[in-house]
Amino acid sequence: MSDLTLREAAKKTDLLAPGHRLCAGCDESIIVRMVLKAVRGPTMVTAATGCLEVATTIFPYTAWRLPWIHSAFENAAATASGMEAAWRAMRRKGRGPLAKYETLDIVAFAGDGGTYDIGLQALSGALERGHDFTYVLLDNEAYMNTGIQRSGGTPHAAATTTSPAGHVIPGKREWKKPIDEIVIAHEIPYVATMSAAWPMDVMRKARSAFEAEGPAFLHAIVPCTRGWRYPSEKTIEISRLAVQTCIFPLWECRLEEGRPVYKLSAASAAIARRPESKKPVEEYLKLQGRFRHLFRPERRDDIIDSIQAWVDHRWQMLLEKAGF
Amino acid sequence: MMKMEKQILMGLNGDEAVAYAVKQVNPDVVAAYPITPQTIIVERFSEYVADGLVDTEFVAVESEHSALSSCVGAAAAGARAFTATAANGLALMWEITYIAASLRLPIVMAVANRALSGPINIHNDHSDSMGARDSGWIQIYCENSQEVYDACIEAWRIGEHPDVQLPVMVCLDGFTLSHTMENVLTLPDETVREFIGERRFITVKGHTGEAELRLNPEAPLTMGPLDLQDFYFEHKLQQVEAMKHALRVIPEVDAEYAEVSGRRYGVLHPYRMEDAEVALIGLGSTMGTVRHVVDTLRSEGVKAGLLKMRVFRPFPAEELIEAVGDVPVIGVLDKAASFGAPGGPLYEEVKTTFYDEADRPLIADYIYGLGGRDASPQLIRDIFRRLEEIRARGEVAEKVSFVGVRE
CATH of domain B4-202+233-261: 3.40.50.970
Q: What is the pLDDT of residue A153?
A: 98
Residue of A66, A71, A88 lying closest to B217 (CB–CB): A66
Is B30:B19 a contact under the CB 8 Å cutoff? no
Q: What is the pLDDT of residue A3?
A: 65
Q: What is the pLDDT of residue B3?
A: 52
Is A35:A107 a contact under the CB 8 Å cutoff? yes
Q: What is the pLDDT of residue B5?
A: 53
pLDDT < 70 regions, chain B: 1-5
Residue A1 placed within a domain:
no
Q: Which residues of A touch B99 (CB under 8 A)?
A: 71-72
Name which of A16, A79, A104 to mutate to probe chain B: the one with the most chain B Cβ atoms within 10 A of its Cβ: A79
Q: What is the pLDDT of residue B32?
A: 98
Q: What is the pLDDT of residue A150?
A: 98
The total of structural domains in chain A comes to: 1
On the CB side of B40, CA atoms within 13 Å amount to 19
Q: Do domains B4-202+233-261 and B268-402 have the same CATH topology?
A: yes
In chain B, the residue whose alpha carbon lies closest to the alpha carbon of A84 is B74
d(CA A218, CA A201): 12
B234 touches chain A (CB under 8 A): no
Strand positions, DSSP E, B207-293: 209-212, 222-223, 268-271, 278-282
Report residue A1's pLDDT band, with 50, 70 and 90 as the boundaries.
Answer: very low
Interchain contact, B28 vs A93, CB within 8 Å: yes
Residue of B74, B96, B217 lying closest to A72 (CB–CB): B96
Burial profile A95-112: b = 16 or more Cβ within 10 angstroms, e = fewer? ebbbeebeebbbbbbbbb
Interchain contact, A58 vs B225, CB within 8 Å: yes
Q: Which residues of A touch B76 (CB under 8 A)?
A: 69, 79, 82-83
Domain limits, chain B: 4-202+233-261, 268-402
Angle between helix A235-244 and helix A27-37 axes, rounded to 10 deg: 70
Interchain contact, A83 vs B73, CB within 8 Å: yes
Interchain contact, B63 vs A71, CB within 8 Å: no
φ and ψ at residue A305, rounded to 5 degrees: -65, -35
Distance (Å) from the alpha carbon of B174 to chain A's nearest alpha carbon: 27
* Percentage of chain A lying above the pLDDT 70 cut: 99
Distance (Å) from the alpha carbon of A273 to chain B's nearest alpha carbon: 43
d(CA A92, CA A170): 56
Residue A86 placed within a domain:
yes
Domain that holds residue A234: 6-321
Q: Which residues of B touch A103 (CB under 8 A)?
A: none
In chain A, the residue whose alpha carbon lies closest to the alpha carbon of B201 is A97
If DSSP codes are grouped into helix, strand and coil, which group holds residue A318?
helix
B 22-81: CB under 8 A from A? 28-29, 31, 55-57, 59-63, 65-66, 69-79, 81
Report residue A5's pLDDT band, with 50, 70 and 90 as the boundaries.
Answer: confident
Among B217, B311, B159, which Cα is nearest to A101's? B217
Interchain contact, B31 vs A71, CB within 8 Å: no
Please state which of the ranges A5-14, A121-130, A283-292, B175-184 shows the lowest mean pLDDT: A5-14
Strand positions, DSSP E, B202-303: 203-206, 209-212, 222-223, 268-271, 278-282
Is A187:A255 a contact under the CB 8 Å cutoff? yes
Q: Which residues of A touch B60 (CB under 8 A)?
A: 129
Interchain contact, B225 vs A87, CB within 8 Å: no
For residue A163, give the CATH number of its domain.
Answer: 3.40.50.970
Burial profile B169-190: b = 16 or more Cβ within 10 angstroms, e = fewer? bbbbbbbbbbbeebebbbbeee
pTM metric for this prediction: 0.98
Distances from the Cα of A284 to the Cα of A76, A100, A202, angstroms? 31, 48, 21
List pLDDT tens digits, range A19-54.
Answer: 999 999 999 999 999 999 999 999 999 999 999 999
List pLDDT tens digits, range A205-238.
Answer: 999 999 999 999 999 999 999 999 999 999 999 9
Q: Which residues of A touch B62 (CB under 8 A)?
A: 121-122, 124-125, 128
Report the CATH fold assignment for B268-402: Rossmann fold (3.40.50)
In chain B, the residue whose alpha carbon lies closest to the alpha carbon of A76 is B69
d(CA A221, CA A111): 10
Interchain contact, B224 vs A71, CB within 8 Å: yes
Name which of B69, B71, B83, B94 to mutate to probe chain A: the one with the most chain A Cβ atoms within 10 A of its Cβ: B69
Q: Which residues of B touch A52 (CB under 8 A)?
A: none
d(CA A159, CA A292): 9
Among A114, A84, A86, A103, which Cα is nearest to A41's? A103
In chain B, the residue whose alpha carbon lies closest to the alpha carbon of A87 is B77
Interchain contact, A57 vs B222, CB within 8 Å: yes
Name which of B83, B226, B231, B235 to mutate to probe chain A: the one with the most chain A Cβ atoms within 10 A of its Cβ: B226
Q: Kindly state the DSSP code that residue B162 receives in the 8-state scheme.
A: T
Residue of B59, B63, B223 lying closest to A82 (CB–CB): B59
d(CA A163, CA A133): 34
Report residue A110's pLDDT band, with 50, 70 and 90 as the boundaries.
Answer: very high
In chain A, the residue whose alpha carbon lies closest to the alpha carbon of B27 is A89
Distances from the Cα of B217 to the Cα of A91, A93, A131, B132, B213, angstroms? 15, 19, 19, 33, 12
Q: What is the pLDDT of residue A4?
A: 78
ipTM: 0.97
CB pairs under 8 A between A and B: 180
On the CB side of A153, CA atoms within 13 Å amount to 29
φ and ψ at residue A135, rounded to 5 degrees: -105, 125
Interchain contact, A97 vs B216, CB within 8 Å: yes
Helix (H) or strand (E) holding B48: helix B39-50
In chain A, the residue whose alpha carbon lies closest to the alpha carbon of B57 is A89
Name which of B22, B57, B68 to mutate to probe chain A: the one with the most chain A Cβ atoms within 10 A of its Cβ: B57
